[in-house]
A and B are shown apart, each in its own frame.
Chain A
Amino acid sequence: SQTIHQWPATLVQPVGSPLSLECTVEGTSNPNLYWYRQAAGRGLQLLFYSVGIGQISSEVPQNLSASRPQDRQFILSSKKLLLSDSGFYLCAWGPGQVNNEQFFGPGTRLTVL
Chain B
Amino acid sequence: GESVGLHLPTLSVQEGDNSIINCAYSNSASDYFIWYKQESGKGPQFIIDIRSNMDKRQGQRVTVLLNKTVKHLSLQIAATQPGDSAVYFCAENSGGSNYKLTFGKGTLLTVNP
Contact = CB atoms under 8 A, between A and B. Distances in A.
- Most chain A CB within 10 A, of B8, B42, B44, B46, is at B44
B77 to A, nearest CB: 20
A11 B46 CA distance: 26
Contacts, number: 62
A100 B95 contact: yes
A107 B46 contact: no
Interface stretch (A12-20, A40-48, A61-69, A72-80): A40-48
Question: Is chain B's binding surface mostly helix, strand, loop or mixed?
Answer: loop
Given A49-B100, A94-B99, A101-B49, A43 B105 contact: yes
Interface string A80-113: 0000100000101010100111111111010000
A39 B6 CA distance: 10
A94 B43 CA distance: 15
B93 interface: yes
B17 to A, nearest CB: 25
A43 B104 contact: yes
B28 to A, nearest CB: 17
Contacts of A107: 41-43
B51 interface: yes
Interface residues of A, number: 26
Nearest to B8: A41
B99 A40 contact: no
17 contacts: A39-B2, A41-B7, A42-B105, A46-B101, A51-B99, A84-B2, A90-B43, A92-B43, A96-B99, A99-B93, A100-B99, A101-B32, A101-B49, A104-B36, A106-B43, A107-B43, A109-B41
